Homo-oligomer: A and B are copies of this chain.
């Protein structure tokens, strides 16, 4: 009868892994419990419901990505430098937390309405950046399209890397950042 010190963390970890691999509904509490190495009932000492686990994961990781992005956006450096750093930060987050990133996307698909209840979403940070660039006349494409382009490209790149179609090699971030920067700032 093991007594873990950090069961709550382990539950979140296992849940994230399973949710991102199989889907939320298709992952059972039993699956999670088994992965953690405890019994189903024990889960409920740490979370009141499966849904709370789901919400906790979403808000945790969505906010974490937002924080990382917004701190770059708010740096007092040249906008172009910040853009390059932003792309790097975004992709690093994806590759460092592939399960979290997939889960965030899945959550958006399955709980579109619920997403609106959360604040500080990653796209808010990026939108702020596009806003600034557009107002300063540096970004030429209107900010919504610039957002779609940057987020869409980075997200799809990540998925293609995951799918084995793109190889993750050094310099990928710079390559993408450069292409994207030109794309949104062309004269």
Contacts and interface: CB of A to CB of B under 8 A. Distances in A.
Contacts of A163: 112
Contacts of A152: 149, 151-157
A105 interface: yes
Given A110-B26, A152-B152, A166 B179 contact: no
Nearest to A175: B145
Interface residues on A, range: 35 or more
A147 interface: yes
A106 interface: yes
A23 interface: yes
Interface string A120-156: 0000000000000000000001001101110111111
Contact of A23 (B105, B110, B186): B110
Contact of A145 (B112, B145, B176): B176
A160 B175 contact: no
A26 B148 CA distance: 29
A106 to B, nearest CB: 5
Nearest to A182: B186
A179 B183 contact: yes
18 contacts: A22-B110, A23-B25, A23-B109, A23-B110, A25-B26, A109-B109, A145-B166, A145-B175, A145-B179, A148-B160, A149-B179, A149-B183, A152-B153, A152-B154, A152-B155, A152-B156, A182-B186, A183-B186
Given A22-B110, A153-B153, 16 more contacts: A25-B26, A106-B109, A109-B109, A144-B165, A144-B166, A145-B157, A147-B156, A147-B160, A148-B153, A148-B156, A149-B179, A151-B152, A152-B154, A155-B156, A179-B183, A180-B183
Closest 4 A/B residue pairs (Cβ): A152-B156, A152-B152, A183-B183, A25-B25
